[in-house]
Structure 1
Amino acid sequence: MAITALPERAKAEQRFSIDDSGSDGKSSAAQKGGTAADEREMDRMGKVQELRRNFKFVGIVGFVTILQATWECTLLANYFGLLNGGTGGVIWCTIAVWALMMCMIASMAEMASMAPTAGGQYHYVSEFAPPSLQKSLSYVVGWCCCLGWICGIPACGLQLAGLVQAMVLLTFPDADVSTLWQTTLLVSAFVLLTVGFNIYFAHHLPLAEGIVLFLHVFAFFAFLLTLWIMAPHASAKQVFFTFNDGGGWGNVGLSCLVGLATPIWCFIGPDAGAHMSEELKDASLQLPRAMIWATFGNGIMGIGMLITFCFCITDLQALLDSDSEYPVINVLYSATHSYAGTVVLGCVLIVLLFFSTVTTIASASRQVWAFSRDCGLPFSTWIRYVPPTWEVPVNALLVCLGVSLILSAINFGSDTAFQAILSVSNAALIFSYIISIGCVRLKRLRGEPLLPRRWSLGRWGGPINDITLAFLFVGFVFSFFPEAPSVGDPNWAADFNWAIVIFAATCLLALLYYVCGGHRQYVAPVSLVKQD
């Protein structure tokens, strides 16, 4: 591990020197539900235990599982994949993405075992990057992590709003509920409710995750049996070998790659558990296991549900030509022939997606809080404050709320806005994965020792890192592709994927802040690490 400059370390220690011993002589980690291993790791990283460790293994498995909500997302966010790829394209791409995501999650899990901190990727980069890049590179990654997680909040809110509108229009076709301002108000309401849950019911979050995990599994079988038994089915040949170039890319393979946004969105966010690691008991061992098991189980259910759903699509073009971008509602109605049955099943999806949004906000707020703890954001002193009686980063949650409301108002919830927000969330998080895993791979190539960890990839670490990086580069590039090519189209702005603009603007803002004084304020996490 690199030794940083002593002046910066002294400055960091002076800024963050807090007495972490209780009045009875016990460490703050022990007082807040941690183990001896948690205490050692927090001490090594130079961090003070401020949050209570309410989560255990089952709770964090539920947290990651509900956040990814893979089988729910295969039903709710499949329009883009069906348009660019068809049923065959979206199925085979989802299977491939799941296998490759398992490699990525294994890489992330190993790093989480080395440094179980809420900072996640930017902390990993600070410790594992070459010494000359530790501070600047971790700073950029920190901003990208914050952007990726906060953008996930309005993306979930837009899905919730769209699902509600689709059910209302199914039952009352003449209802006026789908205008842009109505969508924006619905998104704002869902964001306010989910942030409020994170503030006032944070201590009950592990219990809620356990209950919702049961609903997640139970509802999976309810939907699966409904679609298998009651819906009309297409042939296996039609399902697995129907490819669609609805975007007009002129090549089915390219169209399938453009449609990768759908399967990636269904699995994105495996680092969510890492951002909750300072609230997890025995984090360095339980967190990696939870990340692996949650994604493995989600993949099984997600692919099973996606194949089942695609068997229920007897006319793909008619489904894509319908007014709703949530074809699951039409498919459920075709299966049940009942408005009440469709609405009940739709409400189950709303409950599950609501708690997926709750967990997304929890993870986003911990990322923002951790980054402000290292003075990486403007007004960091205010953002990082944790009320002692609440033991929840309330101010970081309010930042997530404010930024989410602003993002959800872009184009007032238009299709372009949703795709841009979804894409920028994917792209920003993928960028952070590329840099952090790339730093570990570089250390392996140089033969440098890695930190001790209780969950290791062993001799398979290098090949798994290589496969992961190749996949992430492809996913990053295609995150910025629009739904359809618009070269020469006078209305190109309506179809343009504005994710690249949001991503570039955020990077520019981070650069300006860094140059104008952020570099003096930001304390790279490695400067706090105790050297052996």
Structure 2
Amino acid sequence: MAAAALSEIKMGSAAERRTFEMIDDEDEQARQDLVKYGNENDKRDMARMGKIQEMRRNFKSLTVLGFCAIVMCSWESLLSTASLALTNGGSAGLIYTWLIAWAGFNAVYASMAEMASVAPTTGGQYHWAILSYVVGWLGVLGWQTLVTSIAFQAGTEIQGLLALNYDGYVFERWHGTMFVVAIILFALFFNTLLASRLNLVEGAILVVHIFGFFCMLVPLWVLSPRTPSSIVWTEFHDGGWNNTGLATLIGLITSVLPLLGADASVHMAEEVQDAAQTLPKSMMWSINLNGLMGWLTAITFCYCIGDLEQVLKTKTGYPFIQVLFNVTESYQATNFLTSVVLLMNTFSCVTIMAGASRQMFAFGRDKGLPCSGWLSQVHPRLGVPVNAVVLSAVISTLLSLINIGSTVAFNSLVSLGSGTLMISYIVCIGCFAWRRCQGGPEALPPAKWSLGAWALPVNVIAICYLLLVFIIAFFPSVPLPALRAQSMNWSSVILTMVVVWAMAYYFIWSRHVYQGPVKFVQKLGDAPDLSRGSQQSRTL
């Protein structure tokens, strides 16, 4: 009897173990399916847009927030670009224009967040406009210049540390360019061989982003002598323009660049779980988190500047490095604090390259670029568009070489990046606003994240702000009579050349193969399941 009972107990235990193992296997399979295909909402959205799920959905809410925040790198980029605002606008101009940029981008990203909820796909804003072909080209161009721009900041900050620590060091443009290329190659390595760990790194770097903020500001609060509030909050600098208001507006670009790029997360939409809900929230959290941190940094920095003329003429090339050294009077402390900014800018380059390559991949997938078939390939093992990543790195490297010949020409490329992205945002938001005016709320697909009755006013505010920034982006950095050919902002000429080339390519070739993403979008409930790359999906 006892033996029989013991045997039954053992058999029952074995059956229970098998049951638990089957449950564990099912849970593991469910987790793998979630990463590979997303949840039911993701599958439905991809099917509705006629897209095949090719990349793994590794990103969740926190890691997407980290992605957005690191693309922007607000307080770090503010310190890196502060010299333009201090020259054109002064300390008061920097503080107030930051508030303008923060409010303006809130309207912009709120509008784009709603669009992302309607069409959560890697193409980003070019999937939201009738003029999708032109917007696609502008988006590709803008994001490529942003990769080079942030790599330039990181590379030349290394030069700044060399100039600070070694009196005999001589600044050479080609030195900085070599550092820029090294940063780009690091970003390439990370976005290919370590791409599967990118989501984990974004979460870790977000922590560094926040704690580094306090590491930077606390020493300034404690150690620095204070500039009088009457100077910080009321003293403007006209930069030779003989018009303080115009000079301050030109300095607005300093506040635009650090707050640019929250929409980069949209280009990762096909790698985000529950993208239609997660992307809008991450965009709004990132703009407000970075906006607050940047504004506090601007105020703190302006209180700690001291002699503005001496800081602007620093041999390091970066006023914030000189301010840190003046405050701490320590090479070690200055090196450490600057290295935090350098680290964040480096990983911002990694993140921006990820977004830029996905934009290129998506536009290539819709046959809007030369070599579209090659660009739209996803590596079977790495699960990322390696070809698009490599081409993005090559283009950024070639753009960085311009700095060897002329820093002014290179700075024109930076302005070009801002200008092109502003146009793409204007077209997309304008199309949505126009559709609302023509057909009312029901004229647009439903969004899980909606602005409701505030949508049209927010869209109008966003367009007005973007038009202002677009105009300012093409202004030269110095006024007459100092303006010469070598100090001219040539970004408007470059933009015209790119648009002419894009349209020529369209009429010669693309119009025969490119239909635009709207052609693939189906009504809710009419879309087939494309999540597993069915044959049906390939014939759409």
For the 8 Å contact 1:375–1:381, the answer to whether it is kept is yes
Q: Distance in 2 between matches of 1:118 and 1:428?
A: 18
Give 1:511 shift: 1.0
Q: Distance in 2 between matches of 1:384 and 1:151?
A: 21
1:456 aligns with 2:460: no
1:360 aligns with 2:352: yes
For the 8 Å contact 1:79–1:325, the answer to whether it is kept is no
Q: Distance in 1 between matches of 2:203 and 2:35?
A: 24
Any unmatched runs of 5+ in structure 1? Answer: 1-24, 126-133
The equivalent residue for 2:86 is 82
Q: Distance in 2 between matches of 1:273 and 1:525?
A: 19
SS at match of 1:63: helix
Give 1:90 shift: 1.1
The equivalent residue for 2:191 is 198
The equivalent residue for 1:220 is 213
**C-alpha deviations, 1:170-221, integer Å up to 9, x for none?**
1112113x21211111111111111111111111011101111111111101
The equivalent residue for 1:474 is 468
**Would you say how many aligned residue pairs link Structure 1 and Structure 2?**
494
For the 8 Å contact 2:476–2:487, the answer to whether it is kept is yes
Give 1:501 shift: 2.0
SS at match of 2:192: helix
Please point out which of 251, 256, 260 is paired with 2:248.
256
Q: Distance in 2 between matches of 1:444 and 1:254?
A: 34
The equivalent residue for 1:10 is none
User: RMSD value over aligned CA atoms?
Assistant: 1.7
Give 1:414 shift: 4.3
Give 1:233 shift: 1.6
The equivalent residue for 2:531 is none
Give 1:485 shift: 2.3
Aligned partner of 2:57: which letter?
R
Larger radius of gyration: 2
Q: Distance in 2 between matches of 1:354 and 1:31?
A: 27
Aligned partner of 1:70: which letter?
S
The equivalent residue for 2:174 is 181
Give 1:33 shift: 4.4
SS at match of 2:439: coil
1:67 aligns with 2:91: no
The equivalent residue for 2:25 is none
**C-alpha deviations, 1:470-489, integer Å up to 9, x for none?**
000000011001111246x6
**C-alpha deviations, 1:106-159, integer Å up to 9, x for none?**
00100000000000111011xxxxxxxx3xx11000000000100001101110
For the 8 Å contact 2:403–2:410, the answer to whether it is kept is no
For the 8 Å contact 1:118–1:275, the answer to whether it is kept is yes
For the 8 Å contact 1:146–1:364, the answer to whether it is kept is yes
The equivalent residue for 1:274 is 266
The equivalent residue for 1:144 is 138
Give 1:321 shift: 2.9
Please point out which of 217, 223, 231 is paired with 2:224.
231
The equivalent residue for 2:311 is 319
**C-alpha deviations, 1:436-476, integer Å up to 9, x for none?**
00000001111242111110000000100011100000000
For the 8 Å contact 1:332–1:342, the answer to whether it is kept is yes
For the 8 Å contact 2:177–2:403, the answer to whether it is kept is no
For the 8 Å contact 2:35–2:57, the answer to whether it is kept is no
SS at match of 1:444: helix
Q: Distance in 2 between matches of 1:68 and 1:302?
A: 10
Higher mean C-alpha deviation, range 315-324 or range 116-125? 315-324
For the 8 Å contact 2:37–2:43, the answer to whether it is kept is no
SS at match of 2:128: helix
The equivalent residue for 1:245 is 238
Give 1:322 shift: 3.0
How has the CA–CA distance of structure 1 residues 398 and 370 changed in structure 2, closer, same or farther, with 3 Å as cutoff?
same
Q: Distance in 1 between matches of 2:245 and 2:371?
A: 47
Give 1:411 shift: 3.7
The equivalent residue for 1:42 is 46
Aligned partner of 1:58: which letter?
L
1:390 aligns with 2:390: no
Give 1:418 shift: 4.1
Aligned partner of 1:380: which letter?
S
SS at match of 2:262: coil
Q: Distance in 2 between matches of 1:351 and 1:413?
A: 27
SS at match of 1:78: helix
1:53 aligns with 2:57: yes
**C-alpha deviations, 1:4-48, integer Å up to 9, x for none?**
xxxxxxxxxxxxxxxxxxxxx99x975604000000000000000
Give 1:318 shift: 2.3
Aligned partner of 1:36: which letter?
E
The equivalent residue for 1:351 is 343
Please point out which of 79, 98, 101 is paired with 1:94.
98
For the 8 Å contact 1:29–1:38, the answer to whether it is kept is no
Q: Distance in 2 between matches of 1:33 and 1:336?
A: 51
Q: Distance in 1 between matches of 2:57 and 2:409?
A: 37
The equivalent residue for 2:334 is 342
1:301 aligns with 2:305: no
Aligned partner of 1:173: which letter?
D
**C-alpha deviations, 1:211-249, integer Å up to 9, x for none?**
111111111011110111112220111111111112x22
1:123 aligns with 2:133: no
Give 1:417 shift: 3.5
Aligned partner of 2:224: which letter?
A
Q: Distance in 1 between matches of 2:401 and 2:221?
A: 39
For the 8 Å contact 2:164–2:315, the answer to whether it is kept is no
Aligned partner of 1:474: which letter?
L
For the 8 Å contact 2:37–2:53, the answer to whether it is kept is no
TM-score (norm 1): 0.90
1:162 aligns with 2:143: no
Aligned partner of 2:342: which letter?
I
